[in-house]
Structure 1
Amino acid sequence: MPVALHQAKAEFFRMLGHPVRIRVLELLQDGPMAVRELLAEIEVEASNLSAQLAVLRRAGIVTATREGSTVVYALAGADVADLLRAARCILTELLAGQNELLAQLREEAAVR
Protein backbone atom coordinates (compact mmCIF):
# COMPACT_ATOMS: atom_id res chain seq x y z
CA MET A 1 0.00 0.00 0.00
CA PRO A 2 1.45 3.41 -0.89
CA VAL A 3 2.66 5.62 1.95
CA ALA A 4 0.25 8.38 0.90
CA LEU A 5 -2.69 6.05 1.48
CA HIS A 6 -1.41 5.16 4.96
CA GLN A 7 -1.03 8.87 5.66
CA ALA A 8 -4.59 9.56 4.50
CA LYS A 9 -5.93 6.80 6.75
CA ALA A 10 -3.94 8.13 9.72
CA GLU A 11 -5.32 11.64 9.10
CA PHE A 12 -8.84 10.23 8.97
CA PHE A 13 -8.46 8.56 12.37
CA ARG A 14 -6.80 11.67 13.82
CA MET A 15 -9.81 13.68 12.63
CA LEU A 16 -12.04 11.35 14.65
CA GLY A 17 -9.78 11.68 17.70
CA HIS A 18 -11.72 14.23 19.72
CA PRO A 19 -14.40 13.41 22.32
CA VAL A 20 -16.79 16.13 21.12
CA ARG A 21 -16.54 14.92 17.53
CA ILE A 22 -17.25 11.33 18.57
CA ARG A 23 -20.24 12.45 20.65
CA VAL A 24 -21.61 14.49 17.72
CA LEU A 25 -21.33 11.47 15.43
CA GLU A 26 -23.01 9.24 18.00
CA LEU A 27 -25.91 11.66 18.34
CA LEU A 28 -26.29 12.05 14.59
CA GLN A 29 -26.67 8.27 14.20
CA ASP A 30 -30.28 8.76 15.34
CA GLY A 31 -30.92 11.34 12.63
CA PRO A 32 -30.26 14.98 11.78
CA MET A 33 -30.04 17.48 14.64
CA ALA A 34 -30.03 21.24 14.90
CA VAL A 35 -27.00 22.91 16.45
CA ARG A 36 -29.06 23.98 19.49
CA GLU A 37 -30.05 20.34 20.07
CA LEU A 38 -26.42 19.23 19.83
CA LEU A 39 -25.43 21.96 22.29
CA ALA A 40 -28.06 20.80 24.78
CA GLU A 41 -26.87 17.19 24.57
CA ILE A 42 -23.12 17.77 24.59
CA GLU A 43 -22.94 20.70 27.02
CA VAL A 44 -19.86 22.43 25.63
CA GLU A 45 -19.30 26.04 24.68
CA ALA A 46 -20.94 26.99 21.39
CA SER A 47 -17.58 28.04 19.96
CA ASN A 48 -16.06 24.65 20.79
CA LEU A 49 -18.95 22.78 19.19
CA SER A 50 -18.78 25.03 16.14
CA ALA A 51 -15.06 24.33 15.72
CA GLN A 52 -15.57 20.56 16.01
CA LEU A 53 -18.50 20.61 13.58
CA ALA A 54 -16.32 22.52 11.12
CA VAL A 55 -13.66 19.80 11.29
CA LEU A 56 -16.27 17.11 10.61
CA ARG A 57 -17.81 19.14 7.80
CA ARG A 58 -14.44 19.77 6.10
CA ALA A 59 -13.69 16.04 6.33
CA GLY A 60 -16.99 15.27 4.61
CA ILE A 61 -18.23 13.19 7.56
CA VAL A 62 -21.25 15.39 8.24
CA THR A 63 -23.41 17.66 6.14
CA ALA A 64 -25.00 20.92 7.17
CA THR A 65 -28.22 22.38 5.83
CA ARG A 66 -29.85 25.64 6.73
CA GLU A 67 -33.54 25.63 7.62
CA GLY A 68 -34.37 29.28 8.12
CA SER A 69 -32.05 30.51 10.85
CA THR A 70 -31.34 26.97 12.06
CA VAL A 71 -28.41 24.85 10.88
CA VAL A 72 -29.10 21.12 10.91
CA TYR A 73 -26.32 18.54 10.80
CA ALA A 74 -26.53 14.96 9.57
CA LEU A 75 -24.15 12.09 8.91
CA ALA A 76 -22.90 12.18 5.34
CA GLY A 77 -23.39 8.42 5.00
CA ALA A 78 -24.29 5.23 6.85
CA ASP A 79 -20.68 4.07 6.82
CA VAL A 80 -19.87 6.44 9.69
CA ALA A 81 -22.49 4.75 11.89
CA ASP A 82 -21.02 1.36 10.91
CA LEU A 83 -17.56 2.55 11.94
CA LEU A 84 -18.86 3.73 15.31
CA ARG A 85 -20.59 0.37 15.88
CA ALA A 86 -17.34 -1.45 15.06
CA ALA A 87 -15.43 0.80 17.47
CA ARG A 88 -17.95 0.06 20.25
CA CYS A 89 -17.52 -3.69 19.67
CA ILE A 90 -13.73 -3.44 19.78
CA LEU A 91 -13.79 -1.25 22.88
CA THR A 92 -16.22 -3.62 24.60
CA GLU A 93 -13.84 -6.52 24.01
CA LEU A 94 -10.84 -4.53 25.24
CA LEU A 95 -12.60 -3.41 28.39
CA ALA A 96 -13.92 -6.92 29.07
CA GLY A 97 -10.34 -8.17 28.97
CA GLN A 98 -9.29 -5.46 31.41
CA ASN A 99 -12.10 -6.43 33.80
CA GLU A 100 -10.86 -10.02 33.76
CA LEU A 101 -7.34 -8.85 34.64
CA LEU A 102 -8.72 -6.63 37.40
CA ALA A 103 -10.65 -9.57 38.88
CA GLN A 104 -7.50 -11.69 38.83
CA LEU A 105 -5.53 -8.95 40.60
CA ARG A 106 -8.22 -8.64 43.26
CA GLU A 107 -8.24 -12.41 43.81
CA GLU A 108 -4.46 -12.37 44.12
CA ALA A 109 -4.59 -9.51 46.63
CA ALA A 110 -7.26 -11.33 48.68
CA VAL A 111 -5.04 -14.41 48.94
CA ARG A 112 -2.13 -12.39 50.29
Structure 2
Amino acid sequence: MPVPLYQAKADFFRMLGHPVRIRVLELLQDGPKAVRELLAEIEVEASNLSAQLAVLRRSGIVTATREGSTVVYALAGADVADLLRAARRILTELLVGQNQLLAQLQAD
Protein backbone atom coordinates (compact mmCIF):
# COMPACT_ATOMS: atom_id res chain seq x y z
CA MET A 1 0.00 0.00 0.00
CA PRO A 2 1.51 3.38 -1.00
CA VAL A 3 2.26 5.99 1.63
CA PRO A 4 -0.23 8.90 1.57
CA LEU A 5 1.23 12.20 0.41
CA TYR A 6 0.60 13.88 3.77
CA GLN A 7 2.61 11.13 5.48
CA ALA A 8 5.47 11.49 2.99
CA LYS A 9 5.50 15.26 3.63
CA ALA A 10 5.53 14.69 7.39
CA ASP A 11 8.44 12.26 7.02
CA PHE A 12 10.28 14.80 4.87
CA PHE A 13 9.89 17.60 7.42
CA ARG A 14 10.86 15.22 10.23
CA MET A 15 14.05 14.44 8.30
CA LEU A 16 14.80 18.18 8.21
CA GLY A 17 14.08 18.50 11.93
CA HIS A 18 17.64 18.65 13.25
CA PRO A 19 19.69 21.85 13.67
CA VAL A 20 22.87 20.29 12.27
CA ARG A 21 21.05 19.12 9.15
CA ILE A 22 19.57 22.57 8.57
CA ARG A 23 22.98 24.19 9.06
CA VAL A 24 24.56 21.78 6.56
CA LEU A 25 21.89 22.63 4.01
CA GLU A 26 22.41 26.36 4.60
CA LEU A 27 26.15 26.01 4.06
CA LEU A 28 25.67 23.94 0.91
CA GLN A 29 23.56 26.70 -0.63
CA ASP A 30 26.85 28.44 -1.42
CA GLY A 31 28.10 25.41 -3.33
CA PRO A 32 29.65 21.99 -2.66
CA LYS A 33 31.78 21.63 0.46
CA ALA A 34 34.19 19.02 1.73
CA VAL A 35 33.43 17.38 5.06
CA ARG A 36 36.39 19.18 6.68
CA GLU A 37 34.92 22.53 5.59
CA LEU A 38 31.55 21.62 7.08
CA LEU A 39 33.23 20.51 10.31
CA ALA A 40 35.04 23.86 10.59
CA GLU A 41 31.80 25.80 10.09
CA ILE A 42 29.45 23.74 12.24
CA GLU A 43 31.78 22.86 15.13
CA VAL A 44 30.27 19.52 16.10
CA GLU A 45 31.94 16.18 16.63
CA ALA A 46 32.92 14.46 13.40
CA SER A 47 30.77 11.44 14.29
CA ASN A 48 27.71 13.66 14.82
CA LEU A 49 28.24 15.42 11.49
CA SER A 50 28.77 12.09 9.76
CA ALA A 51 25.49 10.73 11.15
CA GLN A 52 23.57 13.83 10.04
CA LEU A 53 25.14 13.78 6.59
CA ALA A 54 24.14 10.12 6.26
CA VAL A 55 20.51 11.01 6.99
CA LEU A 56 20.58 13.77 4.36
CA ARG A 57 22.29 11.49 1.84
CA ARG A 58 19.81 8.63 2.39
CA SER A 59 16.92 11.02 1.91
CA GLY A 60 18.38 12.13 -1.42
CA ILE A 61 18.47 15.79 -0.45
CA VAL A 62 22.28 15.94 -0.76
CA THR A 63 24.79 14.14 -2.92
CA ALA A 64 28.24 12.95 -1.94
CA THR A 65 31.19 12.52 -4.28
CA ARG A 66 34.65 11.29 -3.45
CA GLU A 67 37.63 13.31 -4.65
CA GLY A 68 40.63 11.26 -3.62
CA SER A 69 40.37 10.87 0.13
CA THR A 70 37.96 13.82 0.45
CA VAL A 71 34.18 13.51 0.40
CA VAL A 72 32.37 16.54 -1.02
CA TYR A 73 28.69 17.19 -0.36
CA ALA A 74 26.30 19.25 -2.48
CA LEU A 75 22.59 19.98 -2.59
CA ALA A 76 20.79 17.55 -4.85
CA GLY A 77 18.73 20.35 -6.37
CA ALA A 78 17.92 24.06 -6.22
CA ASP A 79 14.53 23.38 -4.62
CA VAL A 80 16.22 22.79 -1.27
CA ALA A 81 17.64 26.33 -1.28
CA ASP A 82 14.18 27.63 -2.26
CA LEU A 83 12.66 25.78 0.69
CA LEU A 84 15.19 27.29 3.11
CA ARG A 85 14.50 30.78 1.76
CA ALA A 86 10.75 30.20 2.15
CA ALA A 87 11.28 29.08 5.76
CA ARG A 88 13.27 32.25 6.41
CA ARG A 89 10.47 34.42 4.97
CA ILE A 90 7.85 32.63 7.06
CA LEU A 91 9.90 32.98 10.25
CA THR A 92 10.51 36.65 9.52
CA GLU A 93 6.77 37.27 9.09
CA LEU A 94 6.01 35.41 12.33
CA LEU A 95 8.58 37.41 14.27
CA VAL A 96 7.34 40.72 12.86
CA GLY A 97 3.85 39.80 14.01
CA GLN A 98 5.15 38.89 17.46
CA ASN A 99 7.07 42.16 17.72
CA GLN A 100 3.92 44.11 16.80
CA LEU A 101 1.96 42.27 19.49
CA LEU A 102 4.73 42.89 22.03
CA ALA A 103 4.72 46.62 21.18
CA GLN A 104 0.96 46.74 21.70
CA LEU A 105 1.26 44.94 25.04
CA GLN A 106 3.99 47.31 26.20
CA ALA A 107 1.95 50.36 25.15
CA ASP A 108 -1.04 49.35 27.30
What TM-score do the two structures reach when normalised by structure 2? 0.93
Deviations 1:21-45 (A, max 9, x none): 0000000000000000000000011
Q: Secondary structure at the match of 1:3?
A: coil
| Greater Rg by CA | 1
Q: Secondary structure at the match of 1:63?
A: strand
Aligned to 1:30: 30
Q: Secondary structure at the match of 1:30?
A: coil
CA-CA distance at 1:101 after TM superposition: 1.4
Q: Secondary structure at the match of 1:71?
A: strand
Deviations 1:35-90 (A, max 9, x none): 00000000011111000000000000000000011000000000000000111000
Structure 2 residue ranges without an equivalent (≥5): none
Question: Structure 1 14/69 Cα, relative in aligned 2: closer, same or farther at 3 Å?
Answer: same
Alignment of 1:1-112 (within 5 A): 4-105=4-105
- Write the distance in 2 (CA, Å) between the matches of 1:93 and 1:104: 17
CA-CA distance at 1:92 after TM superposition: 0.4
CA-CA distance at 1:3 after TM superposition: 6.5
Question: Structure 1 8/100 Cα, relative in aligned 2: closer, same or farther at 3 Å?
Answer: same
CA-CA distance at 1:98 after TM superposition: 0.9
- Write the distance in 1 (CA, Å) between the matches of 2:102 and 2:2: 41
Instruction: List 4+ stretches of structure 1 deviating above 3 A.
Output: none
- Write the distance in 2 (CA, Å) between the matches of 1:92 and 1:85: 11
What TM-score do the two structures reach when normalised by structure 1? 0.90
- RMSD of aligned C-alpha atoms? 1.9
Structure 1 residue ranges without an equivalent (≥5): 106-110
